[in-house]
Amino acid sequence: MTHYPPLHNAQPQLEWVDCPHPEGQHRMAYVRWGRPDAQRVVVCAHGLTRQGRDFDLLAQALVAKSAEPLQVICPDVAGRGRSQWLENPALYQIPQYAADMLAMLGQVQAHLGGASLQGLDWVGTSMGGLIGMVLAGQAGLPLPARIRRLVLNDVGPAITWSSVERMKTYVGQYGQFRDLEDVAQALRTLSPGFGPVLPEVWREMSAHMTRPGPEGSLTLHYDPAIAVPLRAMTPDMAQAGEAALWALYDHIEAQTLLIRGQDSDLLTAETALNMTQRGPRARLETWPGFGHAPTLTGDDQIQAVATFLLRD
């Protein structure tokens, strides 16, 4: 089995983009792995409470394995990581996030100095997959290139209400931690569905999830207010959102890989099967030993994604 580079093998380039919103603008951070002049781009978008450095191992492997110059862009969605927190928490929703990605991709295109983007692929875990569906399922958006290949990591148009209720119990509910080990343990307790992750990888991922708290403590690196729209959601709202997402999914033309954790409480087996029979007719891989959602950090996980994205 191929062994991929360690986390500290290289460091990405940190970039910023100004993103408009109805009340002004905010700054979104993203990191770039690979060459800024590469005309092929893969965007890796994270889950609800996570941030872009979750994809360090996957991004390094994709750049190393690609037969052509490649840049992998990993944004911190607004309110997470290094990105600015929004004054109005009602904006912490998929439409704003999708608009932010358009601004980011416009800047990536501008960095090419007049050259055209030759390929755009998307890897989305949970919330990041929903953003990808919104972008891939709407013709006429000002994307620098159509999304060619789409990886949906344990997410689909239909999300179980029980998983929404579970998220309401913990999203935004955090305080201070003594040290990094305390953070890593707390996050591991909250994330049983992530499956097996090497201890050194989990520690590194946890480090990127922290910011300084009072009196030398650590706290998590996201705005607790991202929970406001989630807590306001009702079953009727969720049902309406599901109908809209299915309509978008049915218009996706990108080649689509759907990864489902076998024990996922968010993406049901029934929904996953439906996704193989309509819209882009996703290719489904069900991974035993995982729930919601695989971290894409293990060698076999990375190989599965890389094979799909980098094949001729």
Total tally of structural domains belonging to the chain: 1
Burial class (CB in 10 A: 0-12, 13-18, 19+), 72: buried
- Decide if 208 is inside a domain: yes
Global confidence as pTM: 0.96
For the CA atoms of 142, 146, 150, 156, the dihedral, rounded to the nearest 10 degrees, stands at 50
What is the rounded distance in angstroms from the CA atom of residue 73 to the CA atom of residue 69? 13
- Decide if 4 is inside a domain: no
pLDDT digits (tens, 9 = 90+) for 58-76: 999 999 999 999 999 999 9
Other Cβ atoms closer than 10 A to 199? 9
What is the rounded distance in angstroms from the CA atom of residue 305 to the CA atom of residue 42? 11
Long-range contacts of 196-205 (CB under 8 A, 24+ apart): 196/289, 196/298, 197/295, 197/297, 197/298, 198/297, 198/298, 200/7, 201/7, 201/57, 201/295, 201/297, 204/7, 204/56, 205/53, 205/54, 205/295, 205/297
- Decide if 51 is inside a domain: yes
- Decide if 171 is inside a domain: yes
What's the pLDDT at 10?
75
Q: What is the DSSP letter of 12?
A: P
Q: Which residue do the tokens 């290949």 mark?
A: 149
78: domain range?
13-123+142-310
- Decide if 223 is inside a domain: yes
Query: What backbone torsions phi and psi does residue 9 show, to the nearest 5 degrees?
Result: -65, -30
Looking up residue 103, the CATH number of its domain turns out to be 3.40.50.1820
What's the pLDDT at 9?
52
> What Rg do the C-alpha atoms of the chain give, in angstroms?
18
- Decide if 279 is inside a domain: yes
Q: Which amino acid, 264? A: S
CB 283 within 8 Å of CB 256: yes
- Decide if 41 is inside a domain: yes
CB 96 within 8 Å of CB 78: yes
Tell me which residues of the chain have a pLDDT lower than 50.
Answer: 1-8
> What does the block give as tokens for 74?
């990993």
What is the rounded distance in angstroms from the CA atom of residue 131 to the CA atom of residue 137? 10
What is the rounded distance in angstroms from the CA atom of residue 197 to the CA atom of residue 205? 10
Handedness of CA 307, 205, 16, 102 (dihedral sign): positive
- Decide if 133 is inside a domain: no
Cβ-based neighbours of 98, under 8 Å, separated by 6 or more:
131, 134, 135
CB 65 within 8 Å of CB 34: no
Q: Which residue do the tokens 């080990």 mark?
A: 181
What's the pLDDT at 6?
47
What's the pLDDT at 4?
40
